[in-house]
Amino acid sequence: MATVKRFSIFCSKCNQKFPVFAALHHSINVDAWVKEKASNHDCKAFAEQLVKERAARPINPIKASKKS
């Protein structure tokens, strides 16, 4: 059974590190694989995802009234 590893890859285009979880076969050249993932990184989609994760979420008025 393969073990899934977390790779933290640096994108030189947007200067961000992004995580990739993968189970690589032992015959794969890891350095070449990481370089390929970095070159295929979608910087615009990653930036939009970060903005969406960091945005303030609206408070549900029904749940807020129950806390008081």
Tens-place pLDDT, residues 4-14: 999 999 988 88
Mean pLDDT estimate for the chain: 86
Residues 24-53 pLDDT 10s: 888 889 999 999 999 988 889 988 988 888
d(CA 45, CA 67): 36
Look at residue 61 and tell me if it is in a domain: no
Q: For residue 27, give its domain range.
A: 5-56
User: How many structural domains compose the chain?
Assistant: 1
CB-based burial of residue 25 (10 Å sphere; 0-12 exposed, 13-18 middle, 19+ buried)?
exposed
Which parts of 1-68 fold into alpha helices (H)?
30-39, 43-54, 61-67
pTM value is: 0.64
| Arithmetic mean of pLDDT, 18-29 | 90
Measured CA to CA, the distance from residue 68 to residue 8 in angstroms comes to 42
Q: Determine, yes or no, domain membership for 17.
A: yes
In a domain, 14, yes or no: yes
Inside any domain, residue 62? no
pLDDT at 36: 92
pLDDT at 67: 58
Q: 10 pairs with which residues across the strands?
A: 17
